[in-house]
Amino acid sequence: MRAEEMLQTLVAHGYRLTEPRQALLEVIACRPGWFSVRELSEDLGQKKIRVGRATIFRTLNLLVDLGLLERVRGANEVEGYVVTGAGEHHHHLICSRCGRVEELPECPVAERLAELAAERQFQVVSHNLEVYGVCIQCLRQESLEQEK
Amino acid sequence: MRAEEMLQTLVAHGYRLTEPRQALLEVIACRPGWFSVRELSEDLGQKKIRVGRATIFRTLNLLVDLGLLERVRGANEVEGYVVTGAGEHHHHLICSRCGRVEELPECPVAERLAELAAERQFQVVSHNLEVYGVCIQCLRQESLEQEK
DNA sequence: CCTGCTGGTGAGACTAAGTATCAATTGCTA
DNA sequence: TAGCAATTGATACTTAGTCTCACCAGCAGG
């Protein structure tokens, strides 16, 4: 998702189009997959843009609320975020090697979960699925290295 | 799971049976469901038992490694832990009201996830599912309160 | 029962995420 | 272009979690 689009969404929800927000969105849009707040700060630092810590978190929360971002615990157990198309329900395949994130086109839980929850009379409000593994690119690279 | 059993597991794996570990396990065993480190510390404080921060985290990590505990992000987005029967694969229904945790008897993801991942040539190593909602007890209580 | 080796502990400093406060600033609208 | 409300940044704070290092205590072997 491009920075432009995210800005549009902000404006559409009545939020102001400020300098720090633009800077943040640009940096976020450049990140291919999962990122931590630390990485974000570093990116900003490299671009010589100063944005206060508080603003970073405020903006991240905003984006999460709007469904543009999602909080995801990375493979290394570190908290971070992932850009998501829009507010729809979805899950991710997270590569433990490169941190890249692929979106799952459908929810592999929905059906069976509904049944199980009904059995136990548990009212499901939401759920959260994170899948860890190795993506095809990293698998290939690995087998190349082993050939040497 | 009782504190005794957890101690047995520790010993069976060659770990020593120390004072702080016993104290921690007892407090953990008393917790019905999800708990944060903060709650744990408070419980220890109330019982007038002093255990160093480092030891708490060491022990928690140990228990996670042994599969007796699991790290779970609570409904309020706070990190915490949950006691799990043993090292097997399982998931949880987490009640956002009372924090109680029910174990799911089967994994509602396994089948469909395997298919989806195969399609995209992603090698799944592990996955993590957390389900949030309201448990039957809290639902009942709620409807009682509304009747008034 | 005692002793020593080694695993375990606690204090404390450190990293990092995330929140709260509040005065100063800046988008936007009229 | 003036003004108001939304936004910002500095700063201090909370909590999770790690690391180090000197000290301590389980437990095995005598």
CA B72, CA B89: separation in Å to the nearest integer? 14
Task: Please give the CATH number for the structural domain made up of B3-147.
Answer: 3.30.1490.190
Task: Give the closest residue to C19 (Cα–C1′).
Answer: A54
- pLDDT for residue A103: 82
* C-alpha radius of gyration, chain A, whole number: 18
* Chain segment B97-142, per-residue pLDDT in tens: 777 788 887 888 888 888 888 888 998 888 888 888 888 888 888 7
* Chain segment B40-65, per-residue pLDDT in tens: 999 998 888 889 999 999 999 999 99
* Chain segment A17-47, per-residue pLDDT in tens: 999 999 999 999 988 778 899 999 999 998 8
Domain boundaries, chain A: 3-147
Task: Give, as ranges, the nucleotides of chain C with any atom within 7 Å of a protein CB.
Answer: 7-13, 16-21, 26-28
Q: Could you tell me the distance in Å between the CA of residue A59 and the C1' of nucleotide D29?
A: 63
Nearest residue in chain B measured CA to CA from A121 = B136
Helix, strand, or coil here: B107? coil
Beta-carbon contacts of residue A142 (< 8 Å; ≥ 6 apart): A97, A134
Contact A134 B125 (CB under 8 A): yes
Question: Touching check for A105 and chain B: CB below 8 Å?
Answer: yes
Q: Are B78 and B36 in contact (CB under 8 A)?
A: yes
Number of residues in chain A: 148
